[in-house]
Structure 1
Amino acid sequence: MLIQPKKMVPPDGGWGWIAVIGVAIVNFCTRSIEPSFGLLFGDLLKELGVGTTGAALIMSTLDALINFSGLLVGPLIRAFSYRKVSLVGACLCGLGLILTFPARSMAHILVTYSIINGLGVGLTASATFVALNHYFVKRRGQAVGFSLAGTAFGMLLMPQAVRLLLEAYSFRGAILVLGGVALHSLIGSALLQPAEWHLVPERKNLEEGNRQKEMETIKEVEDEDAESPESAQTQKLIGVNTIPDFSKCLGDYRRKEGGFPRNFSTMSFITRGKTVSDAVNYSNLSNMDFTGSSLQLHLESTEKPGPKLQISEGVRLRRNMSYPAVELNSHLKIMQDFQHEPLRFEPRKKETLWTKIVNFMDLDLLKDPIYLNLVFGLSIFYVAEQNFKMVTPFFFDSIGYNKTNTALFLSVQAITDILARLILPPICDRVNVRKRTLFMVGIFLVGISRSVLAEQTDYTKILLWLVVCGFVRGAALINFTITISEYSTLEKLPAAFGLHMVGKGLFVVALGPLLGYIRDATQSYPICLHSQTFLIMLCCLAWSIEYIICWFKTRTKDASSDTT
């Protein structure tokens, strides 16, 4: 009886749901303040005389540190664990916000809020995402969607909380309270226990007959054809008869009467009655060994040329793979007459420092054009998303709405965002469509709805389109990070996600201030919002081109295979 060790797999539940709660707490405490940046820092930036370009520079630096921390995530998680990395990131988040309260210059805000806080947010975001992917496989979409609901729930409450804190304590007191809130992410990080503690045995439905067993060969009666002495000796050694000749496909087969069908799981087929030329020594596979279990070598006699020899007169070697310890004949010594070249092993090339860095950080991913296009699209959308969150409060202020109305607008958008993150993930997991395709459809709708919102000034219409914007945004973001885990293996996931974050950081640094400059140069927030939509459509265009190229390649391969 064979005892096969059970394969341990992620639980897809169990403590994984506790980990989801922990990630939601981390997201709530560290990420929910970002959409309220304009509301929180608006008065301070006006005092410092910093316009939209300055605000864009602060947010771009924050995003750059969040994303460039991806270079550290892979090595840190390998050296320590995702829980420890998340704990360190939570401490940096709280420290960065607390140290911002005495800020009286833009440089101070950049160092404390953008750099220290941004590094902490980046470490926690990456570590929590990797943790969820270790806990879930089939329900990964639901887990990520529910965990991101913590961010959306924070976006619902944080605008109102920031408004109340500003009224009660002004900016400096409010930022201290928010720093204390950020430190509560330590609780969520502590819940991210190693997934190895909670692995479960893999469940399989084993059916009878799955395993192939060696079957005994039934001895045939009335075997008219005589075997060679070597074959007879072989049969005596292993106690079985030979396999009937299957050379019918070659036109030389005579069916025996009264015989049983033979099993050919342990012996190779023997070609009988065939003549060969003795001009050249050769070895080949006899006929077709469908089982792959044995190899028969035909070696011609080294005697003087004469009449053509029958195969039965030649020297035959048969090696039975099912019985490797049995010596089947006495002619194995003939193989020693052949000259064998000694095996040559190429010396192992010494790895350079750059090669070690590439292997350690899995930089070979940068050779994959599909991965690069994936990162390009995600980075372009991320720039547009971050700029929208920063500009929206200023946009509402420019068309005559006060802080109370702005806080209400942001909360309404967050409500529908939460609904989308709670309702859609179970549906998306059951739909047989790639997460990347669902994400592309979602961001396409996001771009259109935001461009429509940019042209609204009426209170009711703004609320209506914010409801639409919030829902399609939630529908898109539930698949944002899953597009990486869907494409990458679990072993390369930390590196793939880290490089993806670095790509986002590069695009934020390059394009973030550009969008702020467009707003300042045109003195128009609607144009700035339309520029964000343009970036989103670039993502859709790049991915659509890739889909078309892959479709043509698949079609060409199918056509060539059909022709063959």
Structure 2
Amino acid sequence: MPPDGGWGWVIVLAMSINNLLTIPMMQIFGFVFGDKLHDIGLSAINISVITNTSQAFGLLLGFINGALLKKLGYRKVAFASAFFIFIGFFTTAFANSFTTFLITYGLIYSTGTGMAKSAYFVALNTFFLKQRSKALALSFTISSLGPILLPQLVPYLLYSYGLKGTALILAAILSHTFVAALLLQPIEKHEKMDPEDDTVNAYHKEIITKSSDVTDIKPSFYDFGSTDDLDIINRSTLSLYTERRPTKRRFSNKMYTSLISFSEDTPDKPVSVDNNIIKLGIEDDLNAKENHLINRKKIFEFFKSASKLFELSLIVDPIFINIIIGISLAMFVDLNFAILTALMLTDFGLEKNQIATFMSVQSSAELIFRFAAPYVGCCLSDSPRILYMICLIFLSISRFLFVWVQGFTLLLVSAVCMGIFRGLRTIYMNLVIPSYVPLEKLPGASGIQLFLNGIMFLVGGPILGFVKDVTGSYRGCVILMNCLMLLGVFMWAIEMMIVKNKKKTVDQT
């Protein structure tokens, strides 16, 4: 069982260091490079493509990250992420065109941040079970120091060292992600056995309960050729958590069909051949059919391995799909808003020191409420998803306030409101998927969710840039983003009502 402490708190520190350094870099990108992007003549669409590609590319590697985590472990993946993060930002200091910004910051740096998210997320969830929410809260609280301190540091660096010198210093700061990777250790060194622990037993009981919830999917059949009477045993059923139930199906009339299943632990299919074929002496035909069956088995094994490696069985669970769509919409909105904040405040006519103050005030409020999030959750006694939905609703209201108020004082009030609900939703967001998906499927689930996030950024980013160019203001972008986030909340609410009604109907019968 997870240690729920011990070296796990060092894992929390490692995740905190990584997030403290990498997350603020995304938020201050426009602050650091904004003037240069405008000097080289980039439009709002160009800037949006760069920033959203930076988010999307790393997230699109989610499937690959899940496989890498299974094959290499989170420590090696974290080292690789540190390398890409440092090289990406270091080379961005020398970027002078749309293409170079897209490659250095949009692709290389993004690869590192995407790998880091998966590695540290899995590492922390592996070391904690009962105290997972507190561990996440502590990690994100420490991480919040980055968005508070770095915006105050950047104006001084720009004044003293210029743009290129500032970018190189920030790259040197990012090299400390190697230190964070060094702190990760395999869970095997720290596991403990406590079979009497009621919480752990309940956790495993939950997995077993999910395993009994069968969701049969009608399989697809593909015609591979012809043969005489064959008894193909073990018709596989594609299900989230279940093993197959063997059945028999008989095929004749010179044709047989083959089932390709993405499920696990499917036994070989014994084949009985009519003795009349042997008597006819068509050994060549039998050899050809035998080779065909071998090839078919290889194809089956390939899909079976791919399904197991990437946890593709999760994509047939409608609740899981609805969960990751809602999270992806919210993440797309939140990260784009964070990236565009400095540019929006510049459009509002604020000076750089005022922009730095706004970002620090928001981050300070976020830090306080990240730490308070687990205790708020205990008081409300609701599931992480319900609490997350509540935070998203109030966060949308705060952002509407941000775009319509006038005056620096009222902007600071909106910054405090956004910081409060950003702090709360950050903790609950990272508990939604682990509270639904079994631990052994968490790397694959994380990869699928990150992949969907990447698709969202690729599709939605240019749209935001287009809206800004057409309207001439970022206010339209904020309204659109808020509507998208509320759409995710609405989808979750509909799903919960459907599930509740079905459960009520079953209880009545």
TM-score range, shorter chain: 0.7 to 0.9
Mapping 1:450-469, distance limit 5 Å? 450-469=399-418
* Range with bigger deviation, 375-384 or 192-201: 192-201
Mapping 1:8-157, distance limit 5 Å? 9-157=1-149
- How far does the alpha carbon of each residue in 1:36-78 deviate from its partner, in whole angstroms, 9 at most, with x for none? 1211111110111112211110111001122112111221111
Aligned length: 415
Distance 1:76 1:403, change over 3 A: same
Mapping 1:91-490, distance limit 5 Å? 91-202=83-194, 204=196, 346-347=269-270, 350=297, 351-428=300-377, 431-490=380-439
Determine if contact 2:70/2:309 at 8 Å carries over to the other structure: no
Deviation at 1:347, TM superposition (A): 2.1
Deviation at 1:199, TM superposition (A): 1.4
Q: Secondary structure of the equivalent of 1:142?
A: helix
- Mapped to 1, the partners of 2:306 and 2:268 lie a distance apart of 26
User: Which blocks of at least 5 consecutive residues in structure 1 are unaligned?
Assistant: 1-8, 207-343
Determine if contact 1:139/1:429 at 8 Å carries over to the other structure: no
Determine if contact 1:141/1:428 at 8 Å carries over to the other structure: no
Deviation at 1:356, TM superposition (A): 2.8
- Mapped to 1, the partners of 2:495 and 2:180 lie a distance apart of 39
Q: Secondary structure of the equivalent of 2:406?
A: coil
- Mapped to 2, the partners of 1:52 and 1:162 lie a distance apart of 23
- How far does the alpha carbon of each residue in 1:96-145 deviate from its partner, in whole angstroms, 9 at most, with x for none? 11111111111001111111110001111110000001110011111112
Q: Secondary structure of the equivalent of 1:57?
A: helix
Deviation at 1:178, TM superposition (A): 0.9
- Mapped to 2, the partners of 1:347 and 1:74 lie a distance apart of 34
Determine if contact 1:92/1:117 at 8 Å carries over to the other structure: yes
- Mapped to 1, the partners of 2:197 and 2:473 lie a distance apart of 63
- Mapped to 1, the partners of 2:269 and 2:379 lie a distance apart of 51
Determine if contact 2:90/2:167 at 8 Å carries over to the other structure: yes
**Residue type at the aligned position of 1:388:** F
Distance 1:115 1:165, change over 3 A: same
- Mapped to 2, the partners of 1:409 and 1:68 lie a distance apart of 32
- Mapped to 2, the partners of 1:137 and 1:393 lie a distance apart of 38
Which residue of structure 2 aligns with residue 542 of structure 1?
Answer: 491
Distance 1:429 1:86, change over 3 A: farther
Which residue of structure 1 aligns with residue 445 of structure 2?
Answer: 496
Determine if contact 2:5/2:128 at 8 Å carries over to the other structure: yes
- Mapped to 1, the partners of 2:320 and 2:197 lie a distance apart of 35
- Structure number, greater radius of gyration: 1
Which residue of structure 1 aligns with residue 481 of structure 2?
Answer: 532
Determine if contact 1:141/1:429 at 8 Å carries over to the other structure: no
- Mapped to 2, the partners of 1:389 and 1:163 lie a distance apart of 18
Deviation at 1:428, TM superposition (A): 2.2
Determine if contact 2:144/2:366 at 8 Å carries over to the other structure: yes
Q: TM-score, normalised by structure 1?
A: 0.71
Determine if contact 1:141/1:426 at 8 Å carries over to the other structure: no
- Mapped to 2, the partners of 1:101 and 1:61 lie a distance apart of 18
Q: Secondary structure of the equivalent of 2:493?
A: helix
Determine if contact 2:66/2:118 at 8 Å carries over to the other structure: no
**Residue type at the aligned position of 1:537:** L
- Mapped to 1, the partners of 2:106 and 2:142 lie a distance apart of 22
Which residue of structure 2 aligns with residue 335 of structure 1?
Answer: none
Deviation at 1:355, TM superposition (A): 3.6
User: Which blocks of at least 5 consecutive residues in structure 2 are unaligned?
Assistant: 199-266, 272-295
- How far does the alpha carbon of each residue in 1:266-322 deviate from its partner, in whole angstroms, 9 at most, with x for none? xxxxxxxxxxxxxxxxxxxxxxxxxxxxxxxxxxxxxxxxxxxxxxxxxxxxxxxxx
Determine if contact 1:420/1:474 at 8 Å carries over to the other structure: yes
Distance 1:455 1:180, change over 3 A: same
- Mapped to 1, the partners of 2:487 and 2:334 lie a distance apart of 14
- Mapped to 1, the partners of 2:466 and 2:336 lie a distance apart of 12
Deviation at 1:192, TM superposition (A): 1.1
- Mapped to 2, the partners of 1:525 and 1:395 lie a distance apart of 6
- How far does the alpha carbon of each residue in 1:470-523 deviate from its partner, in whole angstroms, 9 at most, with x for none? 111111111112111111111100000010000000011111211121111111
Q: Secondary structure of the equivalent of 1:201?
A: coil
- Mapped to 1, the partners of 2:23 and 2:475 lie a distance apart of 26
- Mapped to 1, the partners of 2:133 and 2:333 lie a distance apart of 23
- Mapped to 1, the partners of 2:326 and 2:413 lie a distance apart of 28
Which residue of structure 2 aligns with residue 322 of structure 1?
Answer: none
Determine if contact 1:412/1:466 at 8 Å carries over to the other structure: yes
- Mapped to 2, the partners of 1:56 and 1:453 lie a distance apart of 20
Deviation at 1:151, TM superposition (A): 3.1
Distance 1:51 1:346, change over 3 A: closer
- Mapped to 2, the partners of 1:25 and 1:426 lie a distance apart of 23
* Identity value in percent: 32
- Mapped to 2, the partners of 1:399 and 1:118 lie a distance apart of 29
Determine if contact 2:81/2:115 at 8 Å carries over to the other structure: yes
Deviation at 1:530, TM superposition (A): 1.2
Determine if contact 2:366/2:422 at 8 Å carries over to the other structure: yes
- Mapped to 2, the partners of 1:87 and 1:62 lie a distance apart of 19
Deviation at 1:431, TM superposition (A): 4.9
- Mapped to 2, the partners of 1:163 and 1:65 lie a distance apart of 29
Distance 1:501 1:17, change over 3 A: same
**Residue type at the aligned position of 1:46:** H
Distance 1:427 1:17, change over 3 A: farther
Determine if contact 2:333/2:484 at 8 Å carries over to the other structure: yes
Q: 1 or 2, which has the higher helix percentage? A: 2
Distance 1:345 1:381, change over 3 A: closer
Deviation at 1:429, TM superposition (A): 5.1
- Mapped to 2, the partners of 1:182 and 1:96 lie a distance apart of 10
Deviation at 1:92, TM superposition (A): 0.8
